[in-house]
Amino acid sequence: MKILVTGGAGYIGSHMVRTLGEKGHDVVILDNLCTGFRESVLYGRLVVADLADRAMLDELFLSEKFDAVAHFAAYIVVDESVREPAKYYRNNFVNALNLIEACIGHGVDKFIFSSTAAVYGIPNRVPVAEESLLLPINPYGASKCMVEQVLHDVSRSGRLRHVALRYFNVAGADPLVRLGQRSKDATHLITVSLRTAIGMRKELSIFGTDYDTPDGTCIRDYIHIDDLIHAHMLALEHLSGGGASRVFNCGYGHGYSVREVVQMVKQITGIDFPVREVDRRDGDPPALVADSLSISKELGWKPIHDDLAYIIKTAWEWEKKLHGKR
Ligand code: UFG
């Protein structure tokens, strides 16, 4: 198939491009490189352009006959979205709408969308299932929720079919250490912890120790990037086989606290770095754990890396390679 991957030079998109390329698909990557890296594109043809550019999209869709689109390009930093909401609505919502309109206009009828557990806000029950209320508590989650709504409505009109995957906490790296989280100012717990271990940061802050959880820190469902990519491949097969539009959670169904993750990072790296307990970070739900039964049942998704040690080990190998230390 010929597949357009937006954000294919970023963390998750680049792993998708790798897998599509390995499986022999023809891949075109659209990325403005604002947070992505040219070197992360292992297969296909990279077009450096911005989704805000409708004329460019029309030209691209005219010159390449795409069978499907996988849309990863987005801003992802929750607290930045609180400070700069318009930036998030423009890039995550308006630009996604441009892409969806290009699909409709050019008859591309298969669409895979990177959504997020942030659409749930603070769920009143965990594990949280897809039918739960969507009450995002920050502009990041709201912007993704709005795109889901558009896709739902466009699907109902019969113009395309989509699968929206609601990611929980994606972490880890390519086992062959070719790809991983690259951005300099990463905010994710595992990356920040590893960078503290490597000496790039003085200490790790634990944001809040007074949550209503067993050890007082937040609980998250950490999922290895390759299991997540496998979910995308199954979604692509589902749509190619004529499957209907669907929304699925992607997580393992159990979580780890911040303290447990930090402990595991220290164990894997063998480095005891300084940790400081500070106030809660705005917009953090106490616990976010996926009920992923639907994707397992309907697409046959069987994760194979449900192991925090493995997730951290692959991320650690990547950090060492990226920063050339230890
Ligand atoms: N945390 C710390 N210190 C840090 C970084 C994070 O204590 O330096 C804590 C956070 O407060 C949170 C947990 O570690 O409790 C995980 O935080 P991350 O920033 O790694 O991830 P989030 O759960 O905030 O967000 C991630 C994605 C979002 C997605 C969300 C859904 O970044 O895009 O998961 O679960 F929406």
DSSP 108-122: --EEEEEEEGGGG-S
Q: Is residue 44 part of a domain?
A: yes
Q: Within 10 A of 23 (CB to CB), how many other CB atoms are there?
A: 12
Mutate to test the pocket of ligand 1, among 188, 206, 212 (most ligand atoms within 8 A of CB): 188
Distance 145 CA to ligand 1 centre (A): 18
Is the pLDDT score of 196 beyond 60?
yes
Q: Which of 200, 199, 217 is nearest to 208 (CA)?
A: 217
Q: Which residue has the tokens 């912890």?
A: 193
Which pLDDT score is estimated for 183? Answer: 87
Same domain? For 270 and 208 the reply is: yes
Let me know: does 21 contact 29? Beta carbons within 8 Å.
no
Please give the number of the atom of ligand 1 that sits closest to the Cα of 141. Answer: 36
Distance (Å, whole) CA 199 – CA 126: 36
Question: Strands across the sheet with 68-71, in order?
Answer: 45-48, 26-31, 2-6, 68-71, 110-116, 161-167, 246-250
Q: Quote the pTM value.
A: 0.97
Which pLDDT score is estimated for 254? Answer: 97
User: CB neighbours of 186 closer than 8 A, spacing ≥ 6?
Assistant: 192, 195
Which pLDDT score is estimated for 239? Answer: 98
Same domain? For 242 and 302 the reply is: no
Distance (Å, whole) CA 164 – CA 156: 14
Same domain? For 194 and 132 the reply is: no
Show the domain range for 100: 2-171+222-250
Which pLDDT score is estimated for 282? Answer: 82
Distance 219 CA to ligand 1 centre (A): 9
Same domain? For 34 and 165 the reply is: yes
Distance (Å, whole) CA 209 – CA 219: 11
Same domain? For 12 and 157 the reply is: yes
Please give the number of the atom of ligand 1 that sits closest to the Cα of 190. Answer: 20
Tokens for 306?
């449900």
Quickly state the pLDDT bin for 283 (edges 50, 70, 90): confident
Q: Is residue 7 part of a domain?
A: yes
Distance (Å, whole) CA 325 – CA 262: 20
Residues in the chain: 326
Tell me the Ramachandran region of residue 75: left when phi exceeds 0, alpha when psi lies from -120 to 50, beta otherwise. Answer: beta
- Burial letters for 297-310: b for 16+ Cβ neighbours within 10 Å, e otherwise? eebebebebbebeb
Pocket lining for ligand 1, CB < 6 angstroms: 76, 78, 116-118, 168-169, 187-189, 192, 204-207, 218, 220, 258, 281, 284, 288
Is the pLDDT score of 103 beyond 90?
yes
Same domain? For 238 and 147 the reply is: yes
Q: How many domains does the chain have?
A: 2
Q: Whose CA is nearest to atom 18 of ligand 1?
A: 188
Rounded average pLDDT over 246-250: 98
Distance 189 CA to ligand 1 centre (A): 6
Please give the number of the atom of ligand 1 that sits closest to the Cα of 144. Answer: 36
Let me know: does 75 contact 6? Beta carbons within 8 Å.
no
Which pLDDT score is estimated for 325? Answer: 57
Same domain? For 132 and 21 the reply is: yes
Q: Which residue has the tokens 């403005």?
A: 32
